[in-house]
Amino acid sequence: SIICDYIAPERRSGVFAIHNFGTYVGMMLALLLGGWVGERLGWRWTFVIMGIAGIALAIIVRFTLREPRRGRFDGPQESGSVAPLLGTLAILWRSRTYRLLLIVFSLNGFIQQGLFLWWPSFYTRTFHLGLQTAGTYLGFALACGGARGTLLGGAVANSPARHDVRCPLRISAGVLLLALPIG
């Protein structure tokens, strides 16, 4: 990740929390604006307008974000050629941590995205709310709960990460296990 080339390992938990905070802000804005536009113009135009906003953001990032020097915080590297893709995948797959992270992030992403896509329809059908109202309530609920939890988790994980880089992963795993019954 580009963040790893900008930030020292002992500070990454907090910076990744700020990065992930943007995910919740983005979801909140998508629900708020998507509900408002969807109620007025329909779902098709909502996709068009959100797509145009995404393209505009991509252009801004393209012309403002500078590439850092790669590997700035990495340890000494052997000089040589770049490993082939299949060789790199084999090395990653032999790592138990990588396999566990892959499984956890895949399952968590599947559940989260399923809920985020399903909730607006559920609330509009079950409670007879308009798209704008459902989007507003869900947007603020996600932003307040998710963003606060993400920032707090990053702050809590930063301190133990100075002593053991595995601590943030353990904290994340514990939080996901606690959230599982609620989800």
Full 3-state SS string of the chain: CHHHHHCCHHHHHHHHHHHHHHHHHHHHHHHHHHHHHHHHHCHHHHHHHHHHHHHHHHHHHHHHCCCCCCCCCCCCCCCCCCCCHHHHHHHHHCCHHHHHHHHHHHHHHHHHHHHHHHHHHHHHHHCCCCHHHHHHHHHHHHHHHHHHHHHHHHHHHHHHHCCCCCHHHHHHHHHHHHHCCCC
Given pLDDT bands bounded at 50, 70 and 90, which one contains residue 81? low
Mean of the pLDDT values across residues 88-117? 85
Mean of the pLDDT values across residues 101-129? 84
Confidence (pLDDT) at 130: 87
* pLDDT of 72 over the 90 cut: no
